[in-house]
Structure 1
């Protein structure tokens, strides 16, 4: 019985002539694979009587060597054909076109902002996107009844109505808290990153977006230092001649606080729908760090003062590239991304 099988398979191996490498691989799996014919024959060999084992053992080994030699010869043959075909390539033919990639517009803006502040001596700091109540709210002087704590604004992961709350961070100010807790002044750093807020998605709002916040703490830091730093930043980002104005505002973690506007880079101040025909566009909030925040983080507010600011990268990109729909930043639409192919990686 086994001899008949071996004779049949031997004839099949001798007659085998593959047309391509895929057929050769099928041959290898069929005869030499871990579940192949040869493996099966060796399993059957265990049941052969002791008197016949010497005879069939020799035949079985010869059959295995035949299959391996056949596979090896055909493999070498196909390898030679491939090498010969490569040597016959016509190098005068035009090359294949390939698509040139580019950086995402938000990455371009992020890198430019980082470069500007690095030249002013700011380092880059990062932190977790999942935060506890202390780092996201309490340390930053948010009262317990503050609206930002409400479920309509924050994505809570664990809601216990207190200090044990866990949520997706609503701003990168939490990185500032971690920096102040774990180090000693002076601090001069920016914190770029993604943040999350429970808002309806539209052309002007999204449930996640990107911020760059900054912090400078040292002795004798004043509001004048804040204004000059941000004025320099705007001139570097949008070009000399860009006008700046500060408007009084309120933030729980800064006092005094302000919002900073720049003259619209699209209409040059004459009025358009981007600036709502006012000639001005608000790009960031800022202010002097509230003494309570310093004390919460273990910093003596009688010795140190500082300023902080925060801006949305999408807003900066809107003005720089005239992008009017925030949803485009996260939809991965190639028609949109191809517009930035001049910025090669």
Structure 2
């Protein structure tokens, strides 16, 4: 290889090593290997040589070209390695830093209340009934002594879906969990039908029915979707005295206080007769001296007992309905129901 070609290779290697970016390297490549580059010019000059000179000079030029291409490829790899190292340094993790702890979740305060209610009533022998949230008109209203056009429906028959029952009436989002009482009673009668056929007494029905319910209502103490828990105890000799004992025991256990009083205030509900609102009063604390409504109750109406498939002449009992959301507000001192459903983790984490 001639001294001129060796000098050309060294010049190319030097210029490649001085290129600090891929773009600069490609510019340097064009000087030697481009369409107008020095190697390309030398290759074109071979046409003027004899056959023997062309063969010898062509081989030497080809060796110089290969040497320049190797130097180019080596520098490309160096620049790629340098870029990778830069990225690794920029994205490097400091393993000596403390790790980021994943915060543990917790139960929603209303869920805590629902579980607490189930636990307390479970200790008194009450089963938990469950049922669909999309209900028929008959289960939601008619079976509960609340026929069509009854004024008591005005604030309840509010959310309907595009699904009809056998009478052509649209199904609705249940406004209360009372339909679960009727459904449970039907299952109970079916289960013990052999006792009825023999004229024997059926075991008592003693259940609570917690779940989500829906009505058009929204303010600081009401929500279109809310929770309700109803209770039912039916038997041969179940009286208002049993209702008072059961609910008093529940309230004292739920609030973990003995210094509260209960008041049964006469009221009206189509599915009970007589009916009463249940108020509580604390002897101490920020709510001391105020009567607070927490539930509605009453003796189950004979028509409702009959719609359950039972004989109201031999079956009597009580029912009650309360709002776990309101109980949660009272227990934790929250004054706006909407805070429970805003999804603000800062608020909810207080109960975790």
Contact map agreement 1:170 1:195 (CA 8 A) in 2: yes
Confirm or deny: 8 A CA contact 1:134 1:163 kept in the other structure.
Answer: no
- Is contact 2:155–2:215 with CA below 8 Å preserved after alignment? no
Larger Rg computed on CA atoms: 2
Q: CA deviation at 1:96?
A: 3.2
| Cα separation, 1, equivalents of 2:158 and 2:151 | 10
Indicate the residue corresponding to 2:341 in structure 1: 330
Q: Hey, what's the Cα distance between the residues in 2 that align with 1:122 and 1:95?
A: 47
Q: SS of 2:237's equivalent?
A: coil
CA RMSD of aligned residues (A): 2.5
CA distance in 1 between counterparts of 2:177 and 2:116 reads: 18
Does the CA contact (< 8 Å) of 1:258 and 1:287 recur in 2? yes
3-state DSSP of counterpart to 1:183: helix
For 1:298, which of 282, 306, 309 is the aligned residue? 309
Return the offset for 1:208: 0.8
Q: How does 1:13-24 map to 2 (within 5 A)?
A: none
**Which structure 2 residues correspond to residues 117-266 of structure 1 after superposition, within 5 A?**
117-150=121-154, 153-158=157-162, 164-184=169-189, 185=202, 186-199=204-217, 201-238=218-255, 239-264=257-282, 266=285
Describe the SS at the equivalent of 1:215. Answer: strand
Within 2, Cα distance between the matches of 1:317 and 1:152? 23
How many angstroms apart in 2 are the aligned matches of 1:152 and 1:297? 21
> What is the aligned partner in structure 1 of residue 110 from structure 2?
106
SS in 2 for 1:243: strand
Are the aligned partners of 1:132 and 1:163 in contact in 2 as well (CA < 8 Å)? no
**Length, aligned pairs only:** 245
- Taking a change above 3 Å as real, the CA distance of residues 211 and 151 of structure 1, as seen in their structure-2 partners, is closer
- Give TM-score, length-normalised by structure 2: 0.65
Which sits farther off after the overlay, 153-162 or 230-239? 153-162
Instruction: Please say if 1:320 is aligned against 2:326.
Output: no
Following the alignment from structure 1 to structure 2, what is the Cα–Cα distance between the partners of residues 224 and 253?
Answer: 19
Q: Is the 8 A contact 1:148 1:154 kept in 2?
A: no
Question: How far 1:242 moved relative to its partner?
Answer: 1.3
Which consecutive unaligned segments of at least 5 residues does structure 2 have? Answer: 1-94, 190-201
The whole-number CA distance in structure 1 between the counterparts of 2:306 and 2:293 is: 30
Residue 293 of structure 2 corresponds to 282
Are 2:221 and 2:336, in contact at CA under 8 Å, matched by a contact in 1? yes
Please, which runs of 5 or more residues in structure 1 have no aligned partner?
Answer: 1-88, 271-278
Give distance in 1, aligned partners of 2:269 and 2:330: 24
Moved more, 151-160 or 186-195: 151-160
Q: Quick check: 162-171 or 221-230, which moved more?
A: 162-171
Q: Give, in whole Å, the separation in 2 of the partners of 1:215 and 1:165.
A: 27
Comparing 112-121 and 292-301, the one that deviates more: 292-301
- SS of 1:181 mapped into structure 2: helix
Q: Is the 8 A contact 2:156 2:175 kept in 1?
A: no
After superposition, the Cα gap between the structure-2 partners of 1:155 and 1:266, relative to the gap in structure 1 and judged at 3 Å, is: farther
> Relative to structure 1, is the Cα distance of residues 306 and 163 closer, same or farther in structure 2, using a 3 angstrom cutoff?
farther
Structure 2 Cα separation of the partners of residues 163 and 306 of structure 1: 33
Question: Aligned partners of 1:154, 1:244: CA distance in 2, in Å?
Answer: 32
Distance 2:113 2:156 in 1: 29
